[in-house]
Structure 1
């Protein structure tokens, strides 16, 4: 999948929603790749009227959709797995329609046995290359 303009994020969000089978979405990409922009379009497509912003400083933002709660995490500033558990991530995962986790690398190893999707956004300069598993 490829994004050349801001409007194409809507198509990506629709495609991802149609393929969602699990309630965990790992969102990978370097700074400025479009992770939060994608999340804004995804939540709008899910029917949320909440204002979506990056959880960089709050670590987790909660949004409401007709399908249930969506939690948006940014684990960038967490230094180790203990800090991930300190924020109560397991409880969020158990009580969410969807958990979107930006910068999941610090937590990824502990996801053994859980089903999840991974989406990568690579900024090529001219466009964004997107993979979804």
Structure 2
């Protein structure tokens, strides 16, 4: 699926299209700084019934949110330099106990996801528009 959006309100349209396609409990979010990864997550979790304030987990590395269907763990792996650091935060336990895990900057961990089912979303901020692809 591919989208092009020009304003914040259009994130809702993206979520409306993606939500029925979410079949796996892992969603990788790729994109440059300021692309809209956390904004997308805010809209997605609101649509899933979260009443929590959704913030970027840049400094905490992982934020936990409650949904009627279970827990959501929102990761930002930007500052992690090795796969060992990813395992040190206990990522496997989070993945095993979540309704949904949203992982921003997943590149350091992506190779270890082979064999698991997950979705991947890329957001490219082109200044006036954002190009989004979802698999």
> Aligned match of 1:121 in 120, 123, 126?
123
Structure 2 equivalent of residue 26 of structure 1: 28
Q: TM-score, normalised by structure 2?
A: 0.97
SS of residue matched to 1:109 = helix
> Aligned match of 2:46 in 37, 44, 47?
44
Number of matched pairs? 133
* Structure 2 gaps, min length 5: none
Structure 1 equivalent of residue 61 of structure 2: 59
Structure 1 equivalent of residue 74 of structure 2: 72
SS of residue matched to 2:121 = strand
Structure 2 equivalent of residue 85 of structure 1: 87
Output the aligned Cα RMSD: 0.6
Matches of 2:129 and 2:99, distance apart in 1:
30
Matches of 1:34 and 1:105, distance apart in 2:
17
* Structure 1 gaps, min length 5: none
